[in-house]
Each structure stands twice: as C-alpha cells, then as structure tokens.
C-alpha cells in the first residue's frame, strides 16, 4: 500500500493503530525515519501493547542511528511478545553495533532457539563470534546459515575469512570462489581470494583477483 492510501485510511479511521503502524513502515521504507517514528508512536499511544509497533519503531531508530532507542524498543517488544524471534535478532544487531558482543550473541542464540531455521540469526551470530575472536564458533554458525540459505554470498565470503584466519587457505579459496559464483560483482570476495591465493604462493592468480576487485570497485564508484 502507498502513503496516499494510508493517509486516507487514517483520515477516515483516526483511531486505527494498524494504519499508523503501516504508514510508519511505508515512511521508513522511503527513508523518512522521523515520520515513521512519529507514526509508530501514535500507534503505540492508541494500542500500548502493540509489540509490532515497538519492534518497527526499533527498526526506524536503528536505521536512524539511535542504537539505545532501538534496544529499548526491541526490549519492550520482547516483553510484550516473549517469542518474538526477529526482535531478539535485531536487538542483537543493535547491541553488536554498540560493541556489546556478548549481549548480541545471547540475543542471537535466543532468536535461534525460537526459530531454529533462522539463517540470518546464525549468520549474525557468526559475525559476532568472529569479531570476538571465536573462529571455530563463527565457522560453525556460517556453515549452519549456508545449509539454511545456500544462496547468500556474504556467508561464504565471511566463512572464507574465518577459514583464512585459521590457516585453512584452500577452504577459504573455495568459499570465496562460491561467493563470487553467487555474486559475480562481489569485489571484496575477489580481493579476499587474492589475499588467500597470495598466501598460497599463487601470485598470478592473486594479481588477477586484485585487478578484478579494483575494476568492480571502480565500476561501482567505491
């Protein structure tokens, strides 16, 4: 639905919390975080136990860079709906962004317990474990995420990084190659494969990967 639709719906039914929540989603999708937050606040005023509105306001606050506000909203959404797996995952993202890796891992673990097939929670926990220096844990999580979502290039790239850091250069090259197959414009995967090939002594292969990474970045303007 579009903003004009929700504007008219709200004009006709100004006490409908769901219309405000949904208009907030439409505004957030357009990058109007302040407008979205205002709508979620109205939805919450009309329906104080509206867990989804707290969750969505957390998303908008996170996108706006207000990590504390996001954590507060996700926490309230979880209080109202204790089985809200997405809220645990997103609170984990906000905690990780704040540098609270242990808190993030706890949240991702809870999300996984609630939704055992939650590929992105495994992926996110893998990132947090990698950042924490737990390479084995990261590889385990990335492997589970790949089993659940085998077409996500970022997971292969990240598992490649963890394998490279562990000294498994061949495994890393295999992962980077799969990331490139899934996403042929994945400049970081080319660069990372170049580093792995260089470590293996394959200088020509490394040089070609580095050149391709540069070409892709130049084409993307990055």
Q: Over the stretch 17-60, which tens digit does the pLDDT of each residue have?
A: 999 999 999 999 999 999 999 999 999 999 999 999 999 999 99
3-state secondary structure of 22: helix
pLDDT at 113: 98
Mean per-residue pLDDT of the chain: 97
Measured CA to CA, the distance from residue 140 to residue 183 in angstroms comes to 22
Q: Are 46 and 15 in contact (CB under 8 A)?
A: yes
Retrieve residue 187's tokens.
């400049």
pLDDT at 2: 85
pLDDT at 222: 76
pLDDT at 45: 98
Measured CA to CA, the distance from residue 51 to residue 21 in angstroms comes to 11
The residues, ordered by sequence, that sit 6+ positions from 159 with a Cβ below 8 Å of its Cβ are 126, 138, 139, 142, 143, 146, 175
Count H helices, E strands: the chain? 13, 0
With pLDDT > 90 as the criterion, what percentage of the chain qualifies?
95
Within the chain, which residues score under 70 in pLDDT? 1
User: Which among 150, 75, 144 is positioned nearest to 115, based on CA atoms?
Assistant: 144
pLDDT at 92: 98
Q: Are 103 and 95 in contact (CB under 8 A)?
A: yes
């Amino acid at each position: 639905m579009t903003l004009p639709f929700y504007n008219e719906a709200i004009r006709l039914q100004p006490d409908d919390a769901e219309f405000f929540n949904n208009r907030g989603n439409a505004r957030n999708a357009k990058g109007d975080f302040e407008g979205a937050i205002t709508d979620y606040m109205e939805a919450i005023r009309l329906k104080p136990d509206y867990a989804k509105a707290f969750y969505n306001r957390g998303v908008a606050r996170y996108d706006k860079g207000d990590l504390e506000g996001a954590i507060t909203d996700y926490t309230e959404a979880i209080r109202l709906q204790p089985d809200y797996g997405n809220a645990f995952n997103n609170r984990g993202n906000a905690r990780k962004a704040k540098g609270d890796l242990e808190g993030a891992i706890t949240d991702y673990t809870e999300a996984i317990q609630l939704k055992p097939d939650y590929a992105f929670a495994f992926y996110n926990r893998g990132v947090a474990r990698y950042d924490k220096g737990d390479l084995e844990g990261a590889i385990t999580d990335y492997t589970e995420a790949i089993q659940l979502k085998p077409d996500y290039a970022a997971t292969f790239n990240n598992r490649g990084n963890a394998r490279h850091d562990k000294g498994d250069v061949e495994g890393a090259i295999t992962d980077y190659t799969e990331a490139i197959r899934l996403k042929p414009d994945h400049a970081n995967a080319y660069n990372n494969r170049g580093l792995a090939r260089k470590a293996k002594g394959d200088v020509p292969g490394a040089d070609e990967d580095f050149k391709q990474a540069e070409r892709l970045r130049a084409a993307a303007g990055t």
